[in-house]
Homo-oligomer: A and B are copies of this chain.
Amino acid sequence: QELIDSISRKLQVLREARETLLEDIQANNILGEEVEAIVKEVCKPNEFDKFKMFIGDLDKVVNLLLSLSGRLARVENALNNLDENTSPEERRTLVEKQKLLTQQHEDAKELKENLDRRERIVFDILANYLSEENLADYEHFVKMKSALIIEQRELEDKIKLGEEQLKCLTDSLQPERLK
């Protein structure tokens, strides 16, 4: 019961952190819209296009990278926890999955590297038009955008873990009460 209370309190804190994080994301999105409006006004259409494409690809590639690292970590964890009772078949399936995910993870990392280069290209374009302050806003927006996605993912994982632990514990206590 003590453990349940402790996990419940931890979950409460995590959920409050999630609220704050969602506000931060909201605020950053508003900053992004402001930057976008300025870029649209001062840049050539094809340059604005590049800006939009880069921003649009940013969260997709970051999300993809996080999802693949998560899956890879889970498969590697499963592989490390195999015991002698595991069938060779099961082990083979896991090893194959690990190989596939490692390749996809490498691909996603390369996509991210190219995206970082595109970030610098867009920065160089914007540097021709924007004031120092607006340029700083752009940089801040881009940096925060990926940082917030990463933070959100970590928080969601922790909340999910806590909820599972809590469910496990209450389930295990249930029979005792019924006895």
Contact = CB atoms under 8 A, between A and B. Distances in A.
A67 interface: yes
A74 interface: no
Interface in A29-52: 46, 49-50
Contact of A60 (B46, B60, B110, B117): B110
Q: How many copies does the complex hold?
A: 2
Interface string A14-30: 00000000000000000
Contact of A121 (B46, B61, B107, B111): B46
A150 interface: no
Q: How large is the interface on A (under 10, 10 to 19, 20 to 34, 35 or more residues)?
A: 20 to 34
Interface of A: 46, 49-50, 53, 56-57, 60-61, 63-64, 67, 100, 104, 107-108, 110-111, 114, 117-118, 121
19 contacts: A46-B121, A49-B117, A53-B118, A56-B110, A56-B114, A57-B111, A57-B114, A60-B107, A60-B108, A60-B110, A60-B111, A61-B111, A63-B104, A63-B107, A64-B64, A64-B104, A64-B108, A67-B100, A67-B104
